[in-house]
Amino acid sequence: KDYILLKMNPKMIHGAIGVSTLQGEDFYVITATYPITFINPAIVGQAIHKIANQGDWLEQKLNKKKDLR
């Protein structure tokens, strides 16, 4: 099941997939990293949109169902 994460991680140019603990529970997280000189509101918006799309795709692969939220 987690094999998909290992395959996806090297394809991410500006970030990574990892595990973060929140209130004692582990969650998969997707991060995006950019040089500070590159950041502006449009780039931040694009990064959020891309992370959301990647997260939805990843959730479908891991759960074999579509997020209905």
Q: SS3 sequence, 27-41?
A: EEEEEECCCHHHCCH
Asked if residues 8 and 1 have their Cβ atoms less than 8 Å apart, the reply is no
Asked if residues 18 and 31 have their Cβ atoms less than 8 Å apart, the reply is yes
Residue 69 has pLDDT above 60, yes or no: no
- Long-range contacts (CB closer than 8 Å, 24 or more residues apart) made by 21-25: none
pLDDT of amino acid 60: 84
pLDDT of amino acid 66: 54
- pLDDT tens sequence across 2-56: 677 777 777 777 788 888 899 999 988 888 888 899 899 999 999 999 899 988 8
Residue 64 has pLDDT above 80, yes or no: no
